[in-house]
Every structure is written in C-alpha cells, then in structure tokens.
Structure 1
Amino acid sequence: MQPCRLSRTACSWCVGPRPNFRTTSVPGKSFNYPRGFQTAPTTPDIAFAFDIDGVLLRSSKPIPGAADALRTLQERGIPFILLTNGGGKHESERVAEISEKLQIPLDPSVIVQSHSPFAELVHGAFEQEALENKCILVAGGDGDGCRQVAQRYGFKSVVTPGDIFNAYPDIWPFSKPFKDYYKTFAQPLPKPIDPNDPSKSLKIDAMFVFNDPRDWGLDAQVIVDLLLSSQGIFGTLSEKNGKSDLPNRGYQQDDQPPLYFSNPDLWWAAAYHLPRLGQGGFREALEGTWAAVTGGPAQGVELIKTVVGKPYGLTYRFAENQLLRNRARAFRSKNLPPVKKVFMVGDNPESDIRGANSYKSEYGSEWHSILVRTGVYNGGQPSYTPKTIVDDVQHAVNWALKTSV
C-alpha cells in the first residue's frame, strides 16, 4: 500500500477499492462500476464535481434534470465526483440511496462526504498521531449512525455523547426528555467517569463532529467539559485554565483532545422553503459559549479546532485525488493527459463557490465554479461570485460541455 498524498501514511481509503463497499444497485437492476464509463476514443480533459443537496436532490427528491445530467457524463466517459458537506452515513450507504432516488448507477468511490477525510486519521494525518487504537468522541447524526461510520473507517473505540448521558444523566439534565431515545443505541462506556481517581476515569483522545448535532445542548456540554479538562479525562479541570502567562491563557494547553468539525455550513437546503441552520450554526453556538466561559477574543482566547469540508482546500484536494484515481481506473491507465478543467456545480456560494474559486490544484487543473438556483442561492448578488450562474444542474452540464468543445 502506497502512502496517502494527504496523510503521508498508508490509507485504504485513498489507495485502491475502499473496504466494505458493495456494488450499487437500483431496484430491478444491478450494476458493476464503471458501467457507463466506457473508454472514449479520446480521453476527456474535463471533469465535474457536484454538490448533492440543492443540486441533485432537494429533501431527498430528485431535482428535475439531475439524473439526465449525470447520465450524459457517464455516456461520454467524463468523470465526476459528488462532493458534499453532508454525511452521517457510510459512503456506500449514501451512494446507494442517491442511486435509487436518481435511478442511475453510482459507485461509492464517486462520493466524498464531509467526514470522509477523517478516515485518514485512523493512521495519522493533519499532524495528528494515529487514532486507530485511541478512544474518540463522535457527535452528530441520527442515533449511533456516525459511530458506525467511524468504526467502518477503522476507529476501534468510539464513544458518543448519548453513551455518556445514558450512563450519567446528570451530565446534562435538560436531555432527560430524550432518555428513551438514547437508550435505543447507547453502549457501555469503556471506563467510568471517576472524579476521585482520574487514573481510572474515561479519557478521550480526539473529538469529532461528524454530522449536524441533534441535541445541541448535550453535545456542547460534553465538548466543553473535555476542552476544560486535564488531558481529556472526564470529570477533571485543568489547572492551566485561565493562566495569563500561558498561550491562549492556558486554555487547551493541557493535552486536551483536539476538536474536529466536518463542515462549516451555516445554512443548507432542506424541505422547508427557507434554508435551515447546519453544523456551522452549532459551531457558532459552541464558539459563543466558549467565549463566554473563557473571555474569548477580548481576553486573547480562541477555540482551537480543525474544520474540514467545503470550502477548505484540504477537502478539495482530497476530492481531486479521488477523482483522478477514479479516472485512471475507468480508463485503465495511469498515463492519462491532465485534466484541464473541473466544473464545480453547487448551490451554496459560501462553500461550493468559495471553495472552487480559491482552490489551487497541485495538478494544474482549473476549477470553474457554477452556481445553480435550486438550493441555498435564490437570487441577488452571491457572497462569493461564481464564474457562471445557471438555473439548474442540467443547464450547468449542457453549458460546460458546449464551452469545452
């Protein structure tokens, strides 16, 4: 296994077929990748990246023309990837759902979700030691779906806020109305919370917000507890907190677990006619709470965290590498001409358009941003100006193909 370009370590996600993936199926049909990716007389020098919510689907319902747009690219052998800030399910499950809704065969390798880059942390990435055998906290998503995703990535010890609440309901008493819900998926903690003997208490080595939290209060309380702890040990408080002679006034300076967010989106396109708050809303709420607790920027304190997902370059680089690997497999060659242009089709100026406009490809490809009107953006001057604005994804693909002739 070769080193991953991002993590510099062996990564089963990036090299070859990913483990536990299954052939995508559509009711009444079965497909093996890369059906539709027949070798063309000449290898296309363009590619596409599509957001999902607000571009291909709206509240799980296909947007008119979306399936035809993808089918056109498959028939022409033009590679594409689905690049979303959504998540909460394993890539194989998510792509199977999209395939069924659009009635078009898709392989799990074409999707990059917000938390997909976290798979690299199993063996070490982002200047973080390998976490495969460490205990991590995973927040967000329905039930323990994100725990299951993390386990399939290779993390062996995964705790959720629901597990902690089920064992210690007093940790956030306002979640007691949801007690029955947490009982449906909570698992025993690997260690108790023992404030009298920290050496025997539960220790968390990294914290991940995999998907939009459902219980903001509980998740925020658990994360703040760990940010204020000594070395990530539950039930402790670091003696360094508030020390003015230390960096960040001593906060997060005592081996507390690093905090990772999987996407920064403040808004996302749901079934409601107006955009809804996303994971970015939770992060802003958490940062506001952290500022109130620590004194915040006025006192020289920041919340030290890592945010991935669009518009961040790390996610675009991860997606581009995956896109190129798929392209090489589809045409059964590693010696292909470079991709001159990647058309990024999205509905959110803050993530899709901003990310494509700012990304600098290490392969020299130009990323061309296309904004559609079927999701978050609904008119006016967008916060980040796309290179092209069209009505929907089908118009986006048709326009890009015509201009690339």
Structure 2
Amino acid sequence: MTSQTLWRSFGLLQRASTRSFINTGSGRRALSSQSRIPDFAFAFDIDGVLLRSSKPIPGAAKSLALLQEQNIPFLLLTNGGGKHETERVAEISEKLQVPLAPEAIVQSHSPFAELVRGPDELSALENKCVLVVGGEGERCRKVAQQYGFKNVVTPGDIFMANPTIWPFKSFQNYYKDITKPLPNPKDPNDPSRGLKIDAIFVFNDPRDWALDAQIITDVLLSSEGVIGTISEKNGRTDLPNRGFQQDGQPHLYFSNPDLWWAAAYHLPRLGQGGFREALEGIWAAVTGGPSKGVELKKTVIGKPHQGTYEFAEIQLLRNRSRLLGSNIPPLKNVYMIGDNPESDICGANSYRSPHGSKWHSILVRTGVYNGGEPTWTPTTIADDVQKAVEWGLETSKWRG
C-alpha cells in the first residue's frame, strides 16, 4: 500500500477541510470591485528561505508583507515541526514582524491530526495509546495532545518506568523532568499484560537516537504492540515479510523525510531522514533486510510526497477563499519557493494537483542548496526569497 493510499484510507484528504487543530478566524481584506483577483499563489519553505537559525533572511519580511498588501494568497509549507501550529506561527510572526494567522502554516506533522478520529471508529486513534517520538523535551507530546490524542507516551516515559530497557544512562537527567507515568505499567510477572502501543509517530527530529531506535525496534518486534513481548511470527518464511510486522504491531509514521536541513552551522545537518535511515539499517541487521525479502513497513509524509502537497493545497485554497471570497476564478499557478532540491523542488516538480493548478519550483541559494547542479532541476534559481517572489510576480504579469 502506498503512503498516499494509506492516508486516503484514513480519510486524510477528504477530511482536510474539517481540520480542528488550526484556528480559522482570520479576516478578509476588503476588495473593491475594481481589484484584480490573482489566479496564482505562493508556498514558502521556512528554514533556509525565510529564516536561517531563527534569524530572518534579508528580504523575507518585505516579501510576505508585499503579498499581504496586494491580497496574494500564500502558505508556509515546512518539513519542520515540534511545536503546535499556533505557537510556531506566532514565533515566525514575531521574528519577521509580519502578522501571520495559524492557518497560514502547514508543518510536517500537521496531517497527523487527521488520524485522531479517522474516517470511522475502528481506525480512530483518539483514545488509543500512541508513541510520540522526537522533538525538544515534551513539546511533541503536548502537540499530539492538542491535536486530540488522549493517550500519549514517549520513549522517555518507557525508559523511566523501566530503566533496564536501555543500559546507558546518558539522558537520564534529561528525562526526569519531562516524563510521565505509563498508563499501564509493565507487569514484571506477565509481560503480555504490559503497555500496548497502537501507533508510532515520529513527530520531529529525535534527540536521543539510540533509545528511540531501541524502543521503536522493540515495539515492531513485539506481539500486537505490547512492550516486553516478542512475536512468534518473526522470521517465519511462510508469512509475508518473513513474519515481521505481521502480528498486530502498530503502524510506524514519519513526518519528515529530509536527510539534511539548514541550521546555524555553515554545512547542512542531519535531519529526521537521517534517523529513519539509521533505523532502517538497524531493522535490516535485525531481520535480514531486503536480502531476505524483509522491508520496514512505514508511512513517510512531508515534502516531497504527493499527499502532503494535496493537504497543503486544500489549506491554500481555503485561505484563498477567506481572503478573496468564494466566487473567484480558479487557482492556476502556485510558486513553491524552497532551498532543498530533494524536498521542495522534487515535491513541486512531481506534484499533480487534483484541483487543476500548476506548481512551479523556485530554488534559492540561502539554505541547503549551495551551488552546482541540483539533484532536481527547478523551474528557476533565485539568489533569495525576495528575488524569487519578484520572479513569480513577473511570470504572472502581476502589476500591483
């Protein structure tokens, strides 16, 4: 099953218009009858495009303010996360000194909110136990709870409840202040009555790769997701995937495929994609991997995946209707401005809109991309976001 098909099976794309985790109270600017209605919009990556290590990139604030002034819709589309959308957009607004509404951003893990209730009672995760991995402190736990997940645990919770699960104590002091008691502590006399995990979400870049990889591997090797158990089906040659992940184990979700991202250091740093590659290497070593016909079954969202772009476009169309009204011409062109050829450019180039718009990729030189032939060829390359916006406006023959 492809990731897009899986997301459709949970009703992600059909239910995107009823998302509950974002406030929807932004007002429309008044448009005169003579006002031109733009048939285009912009989508911006954040890190390396608008900000670099939390510092505004020259021209970023001016570009967003210009689009707001001229009633041109835009969306911030990032593979970043780790905070709730309301918190993240408030921080960006303060740094850029440009007022932004919460519905102006889609983060990597934003679609996870759609899995709280799902399309039916059986697939809903609202009251089931979900393992949330990654992020700073317990921020991602809080984000998951704000999305509506009512039973959230972290690898740190599991470690502090049973420190022997991981023999190295480097992060023990870190976990003391951010962990919670397990809802169903392990029964030392009967591991089968231990905590049952119903889904695994990697919300953001993991900080403690070692513990996180151990806990995820334990759960994927377990019987029905119960921590401390081991499935008897593992390794069976008469079952699909040699019996691995064939015994009711929870599904594994990654929110961000980026191998690299632009941080304060002058060279790109490993992101959540690096953790995923490491985990897949461990899984292959444990199970025999592709050489034995075993894969790590998972869903990866975020740019460049089709489902994430569909989710973002629905939000962009909704924002456009709020801004310009409902009786307006269709959206024809979207200019995606990004710094990462593997996510921003690949995603925009590959995206096939079900709504009829055409996406154009603009690669800027202020982040991950530092020159040479990019792995994915953009529609154009610009020095920075201001030049990129100017190119989009000129291409659309916009004269504000």
TM-score (norm 1): 0.92
SS in 1 for 2:17: coil
Partner of 2:62: 68
Residue 80 of structure 2, aligned match among 81, 86, 89: 86
Partner of 1:214: 207
Measured after TM superposition, the shift of residue 160 of structure 1 is 0.3
Higher relative contact order (CA 8 A, sep 6+): 2
Q: Deviations over 1:78-132 (max 9, x none)?
A: 1000000000000000000000000000000010000000000001269981100
1:366 aligned to 2:355?
no
Measured after TM superposition, the shift of residue 251 of structure 1 is 0.2
Partner of 2:379: 387
1:114 aligned to 2:108?
yes
Residue 243 of structure 2, aligned match among 242, 250, 254: 250
Whether the aligned pair in 2 keeps the contact of 1:11 and 1:123 (CA below 8 Å) is no
1:229 aligned to 2:232?
no
Measured after TM superposition, the shift of residue 322 of structure 1 is 0.3
| Structure 2 residues without counterparts, runs of 5 or longer | 1-6
Whether the aligned pair in 2 keeps the contact of 1:34 and 1:107 (CA below 8 Å) is no
Distance change (3 Å), C-alpha of 1:145 and 1:12: farther
Partner of 1:59: 53
1:280 aligned to 2:273?
yes
Letter in 2 for 1:8: G
Residue 157 of structure 1, aligned match among 151, 155, 158: 151
Whether the aligned pair in 2 keeps the contact of 1:140 and 1:146 (CA below 8 Å) is yes
1:172 aligned to 2:175?
no
Q: Deviations over 1:29-78 (max 9, x none)?
A: xxx8347x443613210000000000000000000000001011101101
Q: State the aligned residue count.
A: 389
SS in 2 for 1:14: helix
SS in 2 for 1:350: helix
Q: 1: CA distance between counterparts of 2:8 and 2:292?
A: 38
Partner of 2:11: 8
Whether the aligned pair in 1 keeps the contact of 2:261 and 2:271 (CA below 8 Å) is yes
Moved over 4 A (4+): 4-7, 9-13, 18-22, 125-128
Q: 2: CA distance between counterparts of 1:126 and 1:398?
A: 46
SS in 1 for 2:170: helix
SS in 2 for 1:73: helix
Whether the aligned pair in 1 keeps the contact of 2:125 and 2:149 (CA below 8 Å) is yes
Q: Deviations over 1:331-369 (max 9, x none)?
A: 232x32111100000000000000000000001100000
| Structure 1 residues without counterparts, runs of 5 or longer | 23-31
Whether the aligned pair in 2 keeps the contact of 1:56 and 1:62 (CA below 8 Å) is yes
Residue 99 of structure 1, aligned match among 67, 70, 93: 93
Residue 203 of structure 1, aligned match among 179, 193, 196: 196
Letter in 2 for 1:115: H
Q: 2: CA distance between counterparts of 1:369 and 1:329?
A: 25
Distance change (3 Å), C-alpha of 1:315 and 1:6: farther
Whether the aligned pair in 2 keeps the contact of 1:92 and 1:108 (CA below 8 Å) is yes
Letter in 2 for 1:386: P
Partner of 1:344: 336
Distance change (3 Å), C-alpha of 1:126 and 1:116: farther
Measured after TM superposition, the shift of residue 196 of structure 1 is 3.5
Letter in 1 for 2:335: F
Q: 1: CA distance between counterparts of 2:205 and 2:12?
A: 29
Partner of 1:328: 321
Letter in 2 for 1:152: Q
SS in 1 for 2:171: helix
TM-score (norm 2): 0.93
What is the aligned-residue identity percentage? 70
Measured after TM superposition, the shift of residue 165 of structure 1 is 1.0
Letter in 2 for 1:184: D
Measured after TM superposition, the shift of residue 14 of structure 1 is 3.2
Whether the aligned pair in 2 keeps the contact of 1:13 and 1:119 (CA below 8 Å) is no
